[in-house]
Structure 1
Amino acid sequence: MEQKFQNHIQQNFSFLQDKKLLVATSGGMDSMVLVHLFQKLNLNFALAHCNFQLRESESDGDENFVKEYAKSNTINCFITKFDTEKYSEEHKLSTQVAARNLRYNWFNEILEQNNFDYIVTAHHADDVVETFMINLSRGTGLDGLIGIPSQNGNIIRPMLPFSRKEIEEYVSENNLQWREDSSNASDKYLRNKIRHHIVPVFKEINDSFLQSFQNTLEHINQDQSLVNDAVQMVYEKVVSEENEQLKIDISVLLQYKNYKAYLYQWLHKFGFSAWNDVYNLVESQSGKQIFSENYILLKDRGFLILSAKKTADFKAIIVNSITEKTNFPLKLTLCNLSNISNQMKNVIFVNENKIQFPLTIRKWKEGDYFYPSGMQGKKKVSKYFKDEKFTLFQKQETRILESNNQIVWIIGHRADERFIANNSTQTQIKIEFNNEKNI
């Protein structure tokens, strides 16, 4: 295995020779074999061990084992403790997902603070099979079946070509010491059930199961590459990106018989999982929404619109004077102009004598009305939104500038005729909205 590993590094990861590496080390068999092989190759690396405090004294024993190994082999070692159960409860995550998040967040902190180049993990061929079957059992697209990549950004997995059997033989031949995780024997976790009861059956049926599986993965990866090309080509025809939103043209989308597959490819990365709800949204009435943890998908007339959820509700802002600065991107300037320049959506000129401070910047509400500039009479703001074909997101994001309980401006859209300055106005206030900043 040692020669095979060296050849694998030279052929596929030769760039690691002069890099500073951080090896994720649990103290278990896989990670200790990886550490031993790295020592044999004289690579520049340090160890990183997480004590998740999930197995009481056994977890502390793992920590001490890694610490002592690093000390006796003169290897730099980073160790931390996590209250994994507390983190899991606070973030409503499974224990395994919580541990993974904690682990990789900490690894990346070490990389940034200590100028490491890569994180290295000991995932091997059997891990790939188990992950494939876990994803298959839960329902997934092609992307969930392509296996564990040998490199994903700054994460390197150089042991993927090697089986658990090869690793066990290497441990025996070199009399390596390692720590057994007692939880690996339990069928409490899905991965362990697959490892103990399903994978052995496939290996019994086919002695070359792992190699056959690798061949299958290569075919799936090639198919995924074709899918990615098609997804991108259709995306460019169907989807537009406007104001940090994705806008999917339903009429164009429906020209593709397999449109559901495209929706999945475009939207799964935004955390959506109730796919029947997503697909049904295409035929739903305007205004219907579905939600993921951080995003909203809205049916708006002939479009599906994807937008990030707002992190906090907007609270009204009071502007007490022209010179007062606020955290809202609105600038007021007193000016004397013989001729008022053409008013744009983001800039209006109002008669200073008609403005009464303090001004209020707020969300619109039902019953609001104003006198649209250039028109006779008043109009409900809701009717203005409808006529201008505002989406639900646009309505939620639009703000009102108000003076003495009267609307001065639907900010960035339409001014109120009652306040607009003209050529006979002696003193004007220029009000400018910088819509490049988030409201």
Structure 2
Amino acid sequence: MKGLFFAMQSFLTQVSEFIRSHRLIKPGQRILIAVSGGKDSMALLHALIYLRKAWSLSLCVVHIHHGIRDEEADRDERFVMDSARVFNLPFYSIRVDVPCVARETGCSLEETARNLRRAAIMGILHRIGFDLVALGHQADDQSETILLHLMRGSGIRGLGGMTPMRGCFIRPLLFVLRQEIDAFVADTGIPYREDSSNQDRRFLRNRLRLDILPSIRDAFGNTVTHRINRAGQAAGEVDTYIRAETEDAWEHVAIRETSREITLEIDSFLSYFKIIQKSMAALAIEKLTGFSSFLTTEGYERVLRLAEKGKSGAQVLLDQKARVIRSGGNLVFMTSIPALKEYRVGKNSEIRIPELGLTLRVTESDPGIPEDLKRHDRYTEYADDDKIKVPITVRSCRAGDSFIPLGMKGRKKIHDFFIDEKIPIYRRRVVPLLCSGKDIVWVGGYRMDDRFKVTAWTKRVLKIELLHDPLSG
């Protein structure tokens, strides 16, 4: 019995020391624990409960139901809820439809689950005002991650694997082998759930864990996990230095940043060593999408070739998340925006245009000419209300589209207007055209049609606004 006690105490002491040495937690912090119900997350839950009093921690449990395993997932959810109740911990469960989102986005189930899980957890963290999110990744997960990135052709950043702490996410068990967690759970009688999807060899990570890694251990011994992870740690240390250098370079290279688009000046970009160029490309992707690990060595090389030799208008598609376009002397990193759909809106109403991160608002004014008519910006326009038919449609340009630009007498093709306004090719398909029937009223953000302008004979004015949508980030 004493041996069992000391084994348990040794495990928990090691966890405590790992937390302390990596400064993962400060006394008094509030920690949201992500618990799936499996061995790793249940070991994490019990370890943090053990440390709760000594560190004056406030704990809360969150569980993500992925909508994949039906009744089995429902039972996992109830199990985690009951486990939280045993320790009188607040419990939150979030349901996401991974298969549906994966079909809509074209991403894999694994990637979709990871992205939705992270977003859901961050939503809960902000809602309840906690400080940290504790994740149950352990040493074998780390070696799997490093090998996956290696086989996918990742650069230094991906080979660094997971870090003990990144932002508000902490991994207190990252040093612990899977077999050590198995022993701790067995010795202490901690209940847990088995996830049947972990045996599904359709998932690459499962094939790696079930088939490839055992062969590697047979060839190189059981300590190979720690050796892989030490190599990953070394890569991570190099990446930390490169990141610091990249932040300094970024100040001289980035000339425009929005939530959907980042522009880098090519001459400045090319003046740095290639490793910094690649790191800047990764940082741009990370800023836009939240992730950079999907950018492979081949992807980096394509971006660098675009900067060195690409023609204006040439582009590189990076997975389904982002693209890089050469526009004159600039590299433009963009989130992949779907083609603009057609929307309809009535007067005195509004509609979201999620592809653009904008909301279109249409408002009839009181009779007469509004005082602010001459003070509006490019995203606000005024038209003669009586000349506008409803519904107003919003769409992208089509072949043969033309209008009469404000101040002109004759028609001009939209294609020629885009050229004259120096609108880059990659932006043209998402410029919103507001139409009344078959006529274009306003090239959103640029020019309205002369036929719909407000005149001295206008009885009522229609105010049209394109507003930034706070839901788009």
Q: Give the Cα–Cα distance (whole angstroms) in 1 for the partners of residues 193 and 250 of structure 2.
A: 49
> Aligned partner of 1:247: which letter?
T
> Aligned partner of 2:50: which letter?
K
1:6 maps to which of 16, 35, 39:
16
2:387 maps to which of 343, 351, 357:
357
Change beyond 3 A, Cα 1:117–1:318: closer
Alignment of structure 1 residues 25-424 onto 2, 5 Å = 25-43=35-53, 44-50=58-64, 62=76, 65-66=79-80, 69-70=83-84, 72=86, 74-78=88-92, 85=99, 88-89=102-103, 92-112=106-126, 114-184=128-198, 187-200=201-214, 201-202=216-217, 205=220, 208-241=223-256, 245-255=261-271, 258=274, 261=278, 264-269=281-286, 270=288, 275=299, 278=303, 281-282=306-307, 283-291=309-317, 293=320, 295=322, 297-308=324-335, 309=337, 312-313=340-341, 327-328=360-361, 357-358=387-388, 366=400, 368=402, 370=404, 382-393=415-426, 395-396=428-429
Deviations 1:342-379 (A, max 9, x none): 999889999x9xx9834889776646365785x99886
Q: What SS does structure 1 have at the residue aligned with 2:387?
A: coil
Q: What SS does structure 2 have at the residue aligned with 1:18?
A: coil
Q: Which has the larger radius of gyration?
A: 1
Q: What SS does structure 1 have at the residue aligned with 2:331?
A: strand
Q: Give the Cα–Cα distance (whole angstroms) in 2 for the partners of residues 52 and 427 of structure 1.
A: 56
Deviations 1:375-428 (A, max 9, x none): 998866644543443322554565779999999987765688999999xx9999
CA contact (8 A) 1:149 1:157 kept: yes
Deviations 1:124-183 (A, max 9, x none): 112111111111112212221212122233332111122223323433543444444455
Q: Once superposed, what is the RMSD of the aligned Cα atoms?
A: 5.1
> Structure 1 residue 122: deviation in Å?
1.8
CA contact (8 A) 1:53 1:83 kept: yes
- Which range moved further: 22-31 or 173-182? 173-182
Change beyond 3 A, Cα 1:394–1:147: closer
Q: Give the Cα–Cα distance (whole angstroms) in 2 for the partners of residues 234 and 173 of structure 1.
A: 52
> Structure 1 residue 249: deviation in Å?
3.5
Percent of aligned positions with the same letter in both sequences? Answer: 24
Q: Give the Cα–Cα distance (whole angstroms) in 1 for the partners of residues 442 and 144 of structure 2.
A: 60
Deviations 1:55-103 (A, max 9, x none): 6776566556545555555555555676655565455443433443454
Q: Give the Cα–Cα distance (whole angstroms) in 1 for the partners of residues 71 and 310 of structure 2.
A: 56
Change beyond 3 A, Cα 1:347–1:287: same
> Aligned partner of 2:240: which letter?
S
Q: TM-score, normalised by structure 1?
A: 0.70
> Aligned partner of 1:313: which letter?
K
Q: What SS does structure 2 have at the residue aligned with 1:222?
A: helix
Change beyond 3 A, Cα 1:17–1:311: farther
> Aligned partner of 1:226: which letter?
Y
> Structure 1 residue 116: deviation in Å?
4.2
Gaps of 5+ in 2: 1-10, 351-359
Q: Give the Cα–Cα distance (whole angstroms) in 2 for the partners of residues 293 and 104 of structure 1.
A: 18
> Aligned partner of 2:137: which letter?
H
> Aligned partner of 2:31: which letter?
L
- Which range moved further: 149-158 or 50-59? 50-59
Q: Give the Cα–Cα distance (whole angstroms) in 1 for the partners of residues 32 and 156 of structure 2.
A: 31
CA contact (8 A) 2:24 2:170 kept: no
Matched with 1:22 is: 32
Q: TM-score, normalised by structure 2?
A: 0.66
- Which range moved further: 281-290 or 358-367? 358-367
Deviations 1:26-73 (A, max 9, x none): 333322322332332245434444555756776566556545555555
Q: How many residues are aligned here? A: 426
> Structure 1 residue 195: deviation in Å?
3.0
Q: Give the Cα–Cα distance (whole angstroms) in 1 for the partners of residues 369 and 211 of structure 2.
A: 80
- Which range moved further: 134-143 or 270-279? 270-279
Gaps of 5+ in 1: none
Q: What SS does structure 2 have at the residue aligned with 1:192?
A: helix
Change beyond 3 A, Cα 1:331–1:229: farther
CA contact (8 A) 2:402 2:411 kept: no
Q: Give the Cα–Cα distance (whole angstroms) in 2 for the partners of residues 106 and 408 of structure 1.
A: 41
Q: Give the Cα–Cα distance (whole angstroms) in 1 for the partners of residues 133 and 285 of structure 2.
A: 27
- Which range moved further: 166-175 or 138-147? 166-175
CA contact (8 A) 2:406 2:447 kept: yes
CA contact (8 A) 2:36 2:63 kept: yes
CA contact (8 A) 1:356 1:404 kept: no
